[in-house]
Structure 1
Amino acid sequence: MIRTSLPVKKALKPRRCRSCGNPYVPISSMAKACSVPCALDLVRQANARKEARAKREERAATRVAKEKLKSRADYLREAQTAVNAYVRLRDANEPCISCDRPATWGGQWHASHYRSVGSNPGWRFNVLNIHRACSICNAWKSGNLTEYRPRLITKIGLERVELLEQESPVRKYDIEYLKRLKKVMNKKARRLERRIEQRKEAA
């Protein structure tokens, strides 16, 4: 039998415009927008996503390149910075470990080592050996150890202080260890920051 007419094209079901969200009847199955302005908006959105993705990929590539250029000393500094930041947050409500300056003192706060890093590298990252101190004691008075020790005994106990005063263990910090340490301490610092913010909100 010979057809004498073209088949009737079924109307497409209504759908929501991906740009404005309004319902519309598409003119084709490929249509995603209800109008030309909305179609142009979708194109702009797609281009913005591509640009953002390209920037993320570029930043990731830059980070990888920088990692390859880092020395062990760079990783050592980064790990120490992370540990120090955690200590300052941990002791945020405590006075200077070496003097009577209160936690509310408006100057700069440091993370002060009781046993110095140079002579006791094995205690470098031990958080019992590092405490929040004012910049005056730490930077200008070399830690002000005469006052540091009795306050440290009060804080952590004589047994632990005497342990720190023994010769530090020999440690060789490899790069993988330093990376893990930095990651762990940054995570702990973020947790402390959240707790501090929650206390402030509850006060």
Structure 2
Amino acid sequence: MSGLAIKPSGIPRSPRRLKAKKCKNPACRAEFVPARSFQTWCSPDCAIAITAAKKQKERKTLEQRDRREIKVRKEKLKSRSDYMREAQISFNAFIRERDRLAGHCCISSGRPLDWNGNAVDAGHYRSVGAAPHLRFDERNCHAQSKQDNRYLSGNAVDYRIGLIQRIGLEAVEALEADQSVRKYTIEDLKAITAHYRALTRELKRAAV
């Protein structure tokens, strides 16, 4: 038997012609008439290309899922000190970008800073060890040369002079008098990290 449909009169019915469609291969997109309703390719080469693209997409999806799972596992293993370190890094990066765009010199020496290398720190007036509650206070942290921050112990006397010039004596005395206690939860630290990363991105976009 031929497989053609038989009309009630006994006369074979002609096969239904499928409508033309566009090839799903993005590099082709030629119009063709498929031999089967499910066919999405116009040629064997396009069929291979479509299959390869589908496999690549599936592989990418699996890789993204794996990365998300790894990130979740890493988050579970993090300690509070890890979150504190991330928050401090994001805050310090914001301070450096803020002062770079403002064209500030070293807060303590007054000398121009070398922004091209790795010679600039975010130096705290009242140190993180002595005043941990001020570690994320933008008034208390400014771009400073590594020489002054690391090898001159922050150059505190000259830092104070530069700080008064920048934010005023009243603000400096307020920092010096601040003996408040601040406990940062992990959620606080996550929020601080996200906040300063976003601010840094905004500064960089505005500078373009």
The sequence identity of aligned pairs, in percent, is 39
**C-alpha RMSD of matched pairs (Å):** 1.4
Shift of residue 196, structure 1, vs aligned partner? 1.8
Task: Find out whether 1:189 has 2:200 as its counterpart.
Answer: yes
2:136 to 119, 125, 129: 125
Task: Find out whether 1:51 has 2:59 as its counterpart.
Answer: yes
Q: Which residue of 2 aligns with 1:101?
A: 111
Alignment of 1:66-105 (within 5 A): 66-92=74-100, 93-104=103-114
Shift of residue 13, structure 1, vs aligned partner? 1.4
**Between Structure 1 and Structure 2, whose CA radius of gyration is higher?**
2
Contact 2:163–2:172, Cα closer than 8 Å, also in 1: yes
Rounded to whole Å, the distance in 2 between the matches of 1:156 and 1:141 is 22
Shift of residue 101, structure 1, vs aligned partner? 1.9
Task: Find out whether 1:177 has 2:183 as its counterpart.
Answer: no
Gaps of 5+ in 2: 1-6
Rounded to whole Å, the distance in 1 between the matches of 2:14 and 2:29 is 29
TM-score with structure 2 length normalisation? 0.91
Q: Which residue of 2 aligns with 1:112?
A: 123
Shift of residue 167, structure 1, vs aligned partner? 3.5
Q: Which residue of 2 aligns with 1:201?
A: none
TM-score with structure 1 length normalisation? 0.93
TM-aligned CA distance change 1:17 to 1:78, over 3 Å: same
- For these two proteins, the number of residue pairs brought into alignment is 197
Task: Find out whether 1:8 has 2:9 as its counterpart.
Answer: no
Q: Which residue of 2 aligns with 1:24?
A: 32
Q: Which residue of 2 aligns with 1:134?
A: 145
Opposite residue 69 of structure 1, the aligned amino acid is L
Shift of residue 168, structure 1, vs aligned partner? 3.0
Shift of residue 34, structure 1, vs aligned partner? 0.3
